[in-house]
């Protein structure tokens, strides 16, 4: 942050760019706001609830602002959010209209400056706008530079000079560029140098000045984000919880889907805990109720097979939905890679046993070919046909190098058929791999020392162990942070589901915000 005439180490601050930061994330806001339409309630440690009511407009707007702030803080803490200039689609109606308006404005300005004598009305307005932007870049302690800008860009004086045909636009532009050079981040030095060396006419120079000022605004926002990130990382959990409680106070139905999500996991666990009925079991007690951690683990495990196109995620996971979808996409892709490799090694056997370089080549090749398998218009069986052709080609090349006979057409057809068959959900190889992956993540979630469990991968998944471990770390980190923020809400829901209106059994302190004990990396 610049102090007086000091150059900033990264970027300077700008209040004006706050709206730009909002616009970069506002596209997700409407969808997020629609997601909070469920029932339930909870405070930080003492959950509270209120009956449904018709909300006045100002409370709805306040809930929308809280939701936006919640998303912004979450993305700063968990993600790598950065502001960028939005160019929009070149062929969009909005972009076409905007470009035509801009062109008309600059053409009008050029014609006014070319008059004899020149007409400076619009040019002066632009200089005034530039002055306000420069002032916004200053921090509160930069009094000397603030005074200097106000003196050099004194609008009353500039208007008097214009009336007397004594206005030096080029001189003002030179001072503006020099001031921008003092306030910009080092990454913009090249842009400032081009402005200083520009021989363009006044209108083109002003256009370029505004372009660079827009870049500086973005730099200011990103600098502010970097300054806020450590603070939010220290206090983000409590702050996000308070924001969510504010939303819950305004929208008491904001935990319906979360409640249904947890209830579904609880019902599944209760059903699984009921043994087959035997005659001698009459009169025996009911099986013990699952604990809160067990319930939440079962609920989170569902995200690995969640159908995001048909079922909305719980409200407490709305901010991370795209991350969950990406984890699921990566997992399914690497599962398919592993399934193909298992089929290849099972079918070919001895001639390629121990050929680690071949396995690595096949793994890289298959993963690249499967990158498009998640596209809406993608056909998995057709994709696997292409994979099979490349696999057969690579195998024949390797077998020839090892002085082994190449695959016969019948062998290639059989191998292709087996590989393509994994597009069917009931395929035994696919079922085996998916079950092993589910077991791996179940162990990660259930073992309190799951940092060591990250490396304990089933032998049938060895080929994708590095990728599986990386996905596991990401998944567990998301769950840890989510539980840290929303743990009290989950505990309240679980108490109500388990005990209803009767007094609940006290939950031990260590269960208040269950954590998977895997550090965020």
216/332 same-domain check? no
The most confident of the ranges 80-84, 90-94, 243-247 is 243-247
Instruction: Say if residue 483 is in the same domain as residue 339.
Output: yes
Same domain as 349, residue 466: yes
Query: Domain ends where: 200, 226, 252?
Result: 226
pTM over 0.75: no
Query: Of 197, 226, 255, which residue sits at a domain end?
Result: 226
| pLDDT score, position 275 | 67
Answer whether residue 517 shows pLDDT above 90. Answer: no
Per-residue model confidence (pLDDT) at position 112:
87
Quick one: what percent of the chain has pLDDT higher than 70? 78
pLDDT band at 405 (very low <50, low <70, confident <90, very high): confident
The answer to whether position 9 is within a domain reads: no
Q: Are residues 215 and 101 in the same domain?
A: yes
Q: What is the mean pLDDT of residues 80-99?
A: 73
CA 247 – CA 234 distance, rounded (Å)? 22
| Residue 163, domain member (yes or no) | yes
Question: Is 90 exceeded by the pLDDT of residue 501?
Answer: no
Among 34-43, 176-185, 192-201, the range scoring the smallest mean pLDDT is 34-43
| Same-domain check for residues 104 and 216 | yes
Compare 457 and 76 and report the one with higher pLDDT: 457
pLDDT at 58 over 50: yes
Note whether residue 3 is domain-resident: no
Q: What confidence tier does 30 reach under pLDDT thresholds 50, 70, 90?
A: very low
The answer to whether residue 205 is domain-embedded is yes
Name the range with the highest mean pLDDT among 58-67, 216-225, 360-369, 452-461.
360-369
- Average pLDDT on 493-503 reads 78
Q: What is the mean pLDDT of the chain?
A: 80
pLDDT tens digits, one per residue of 124-165: 899 999 999 999 999 888 889 999 999 999 999 999 998 888
Looking at the structure, tell me whether residues 466 and 341 fall in a common domain.
Answer: yes
* Residues 346 and 490 grouped into a single domain: yes
**407 occurs within a structural domain:** no
Domain assignment present for residue 306? The answer is no
Tell me, yes or no, whether 476 lies in a domain. yes
- DSSP 8-state secondary structure symbol assigned to residue 189: H
Residue 194 belongs to what domain range?
Answer: 93-226
Which residue, 422, 442, 324, is CA-closest to 373? 422
**Residue 363 pLDDT > 70:** yes
Short-list 204, 233, 252, 242, CA closest to 37: 252
Q: Do 222 and 333 belong together in one domain? A: no
Whole-angstrom distance, CA of residue 57 vs CA of residue 374: 41
Regarding whether 352 and 211 lie in a shared domain, the answer is no
Please say if the pLDDT value at position 356 is more than 80: no
**Is residue 51 predicted with pLDDT exceeding 60?**
no
Question: Is the pLDDT higher at 173 or at 91?
Answer: 173
| Better pLDDT: 4 or 70 | 70
Overall number of domains in the chain? 2
For residue 108, pLDDT beyond 70: yes
The predicted structure's pLDDT at residue 332: 95
Domain assignment of residue 194, yes or no: yes
Query: Which own/partner contact pairs does 303-308 have at CB distance under 8 Å and 24+ positions apart?
Result: 303/327, 303/328, 304/328, 304/331, 304/437, 304/438, 304/441, 304/475
pLDDT for residue 317:
94
Among the three residues 203, 226, 249, which one is the final residue of a domain in this structure? 226
One domain for residues 320 and 462? yes
pLDDT one-digit tens code per residue, 275-290: 666 555 555 556 788 8
What are the CA-CA distances from residue 380 to residues 157, 236, 377, 422, 431 (Å)?
71, 41, 10, 9, 16
Query: In this predicted model, which residue has the larger pLDDT, 41 or 190?
Result: 190
Q: What is the pLDDT of residues 11-23, one digit of tens each?
A: 443 333 344 433 4
More confident residue, 519 or 340: 340
Q: Which residues contact 186 (CB under 8 A, 6 or more apart)?
A: 7, 9
Q: What is the pLDDT of residues 276-331, one digit of tens each?
A: 665 555 555 567 888 899 999 999 999 999 999 999 999 999 999 999 999 999 99
DSSP assignment of 101-140? HHHHHHHHHHHHHTSSSPP-HHHHHHHHHHHHHHHHHS-T
Does 365 score more than 70 pLDDT? yes
Asked if residue 319 and residue 190 are part of one domain, the reply reads: no
DSSP state of 56: P
Q: Between 451 and 164, name the one with better pLDDT.
A: 164
């Amino acid at each position: 942050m610049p102090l007086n005439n000091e150059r900033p180490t990264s970027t300077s601050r700008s209040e004006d760019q706050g709206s730009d930061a909002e616009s970069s994330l506002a596209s997700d806001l409407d969808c997020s706001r629609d997601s909070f339409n469920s029932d339930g309630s909870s405070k930080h440690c003492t959950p509270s609830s209120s009956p449904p009511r018709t909300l006045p407009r100002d409370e709805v707007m306040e809930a929308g602002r809280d939701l936006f702030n919640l998303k912004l803080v979450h993305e700063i803490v968990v993600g790598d959010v950065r502001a960028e200039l939005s160019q929009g689609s070149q062929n969009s109606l909005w972009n076409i209209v905007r470009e035509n308006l801009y062109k008309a404005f600059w053409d009008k300005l050029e014609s006014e400056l070319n008059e004899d004598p020149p007409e400076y009305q619009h040019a002066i307005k632009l200089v005034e706008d530039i002055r306000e932007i420069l002032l916004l870049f200053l921090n509160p302690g930069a009094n000397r530079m603030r005074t200097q800008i106000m003196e050099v860009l004194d609008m009353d004086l500039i208007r008097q000079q214009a009336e007397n045909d004594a206005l030096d636009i080029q001189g003002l532009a030179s001072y503006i560029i020099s001031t921008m050079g003092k306030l910009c981040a080092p990454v913009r030095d090249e842009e400032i140098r081009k402005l200083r060396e520009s021989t363009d006419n006044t209108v083109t120079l002003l256009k370029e000045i505004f372009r660079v000022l827009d870049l500086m605004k973005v730099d200011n926002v990103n600098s502010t984000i970097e300054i806020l990130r450590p603070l939010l990382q220290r206090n983000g959990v409590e702050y996000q919880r308070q924001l969510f409680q504010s939303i819950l106070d305004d929208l008491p139905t904001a935990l319906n889907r979360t409640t249904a999500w947890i209830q579904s996991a609880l019902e599944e666990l209760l059903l699984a805990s009921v043994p087959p009925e035997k005659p001698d079991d009459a009169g025996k007690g009911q099986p013990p109720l699952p604990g809160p951690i067990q319930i939440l683990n079962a609920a989170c495990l569902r995200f690995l097979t969640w159908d995001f196109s048909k079922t909305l995620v719980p409200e407490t996971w709305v901010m991370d939905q795209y991350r969950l979808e990406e984890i699921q996409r990566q997992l399914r892709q690497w599962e398919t890679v592993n399934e193909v490799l298992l089929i290849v090694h099972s079918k070919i056997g001895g001639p390629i046993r121990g050929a680690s370089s071949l396995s690595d080549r096949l793994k890289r090749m298959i993963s690249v070919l499967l990158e498009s398998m998640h596209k809406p218009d993608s056909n998995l069986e057709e994709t696997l046909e292409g994979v099979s052709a490349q696999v057969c080609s690579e195998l024949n090349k390797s077998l020839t190098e090892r002085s082994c006979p190449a695959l016969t057409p019948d062998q290639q057809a059989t191998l292709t058929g087996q590989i393509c068959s994994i597009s069917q959900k009931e395929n035994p190889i696919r079922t085996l791999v998916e079950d092993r992956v589910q077991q791996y993540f179940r162990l990660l979630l259930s073992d309190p020392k799951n940092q060591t469990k990250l490396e304990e991968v089933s032998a049938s998944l060895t080929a994708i162990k590095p990728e599986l471990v990386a996905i596991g770390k990401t998944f567990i980190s998301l769950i840890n942070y989510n539980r840290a923020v929303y743990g009290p809400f989950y505990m309240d829901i679980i108490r109500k589901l388990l005990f209803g209106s009767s007094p609940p059994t006290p939950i031990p302190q260590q269960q208040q915000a269950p954590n998977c004990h895997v550090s965020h990396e």
